[in-house]
Amino acid sequence: MLPLVNQWETLNEQIVNCERCARLRDYCQQVAQTKRRAFQGEVYWGKPIPNFGSPSARLLIVGLAPAAHGGNRTGRLFTGDASGDFLFDALHETGFCNQPTSTHRNDGLVLHDCAICSAVRCAPPDNKPTPEERAQCLPFLVQTVRLMPNLKGFLALGQLAMEACVAVAHTEGFLPSGLRPKFEHGAFYPLEGGRFLAVSYHPSARNTYTKLLTKPMMVALLNQVRRQLDECEGR
């Protein structure tokens, strides 16, 4: 069997080369060709977005999908857009990464004890993947979880990300199939094996600009996540 890091890299290659959803692939490539005026001089990534971070991490942060001119441009989730500016500033303040900014794939950003992925790996039109597209991408999240031997917690960013985490928890036996956690910012749900699911509003510009989600709220939640990770470790 390949070492864990090699299996992680192999999974990332499979993600990047995925062609399962024609609508999403067409949209991502179209955006990569037309571009936004501010980024006309850049070469867009235009492919599915791989996992970011180490499989040895205890925390998996799950978003919905890459932004058309964020992750779809830069090749890394929450990188090069307002959502990433907000998220990594809070992650840095709480010790989960080494710097408060995420601008491009080679900017020196390093995650500490967490990995980041999305429920859907391609940017969807209007940020709305179909149920079929979400189902097509779910196996990548399942495989990601199976390659994380130290995983203790999920942090779901938004309702669709929470639903993906719940689906994986059901698949992996972390959560009885009849239990359906309610989406609520700041909620924590215990899972089997000393694991947990934490829930947050998505750090979209709409949510942060309207103050539905503020930096103090996110920092407080991340600090609570860290305490929960340490409690899980002590069990």
Q: What residue segments make up the domains of the chain, in order of their start? A: 4-234
Residue 125 has what pLDDT?
A: 97
Higher per-residue pLDDT: 3 or 10: 10
| pLDDT band at residue 234 using 50, 70 and 90 as cut-offs | low
Is the pLDDT at 171 greater than 80? The verdict is yes
How far is 64 from 130, CA to CA, in rounded Å? 12
Residue 2 has what pLDDT?
A: 76
What's the predicted TM-score (pTM) here? 0.97
How many C-beta neighbours within 10 Å does residue 164 have?
26
Residue 179 has what pLDDT?
A: 82
Inter-residue contact 77 to 63 (CB < 8 Å): yes
Residue 235 has what pLDDT?
A: 57
Q: Which residues pair with 153 in a beta bridge?
A: 59, 196
Is the pLDDT at 172 greater than 80? The verdict is yes
Q: What is the pLDDT of residues 46-100, one digit of tens each?
A: 999 999 999 999 999 999 999 999 999 999 999 999 999 999 999 999 999 999 9
Candidate CATH numbers 3.30.750.24, 3.40.1160.10, 3.40.50.300, 3.40.470.10; the one for domain 4-234: 3.40.470.10
Pairing of the two strands 153-157 and 59-63:
parallel
Q: Taking each helix axis as running N to C, give the angle between helix 131-146 and helix 4-16, from 0 to 180 degrees, rounded to the nearest 10.
A: 170
Mean pLDDT of the chain: 96
CA proximity to 74, closest of 36, 105, 37: 105
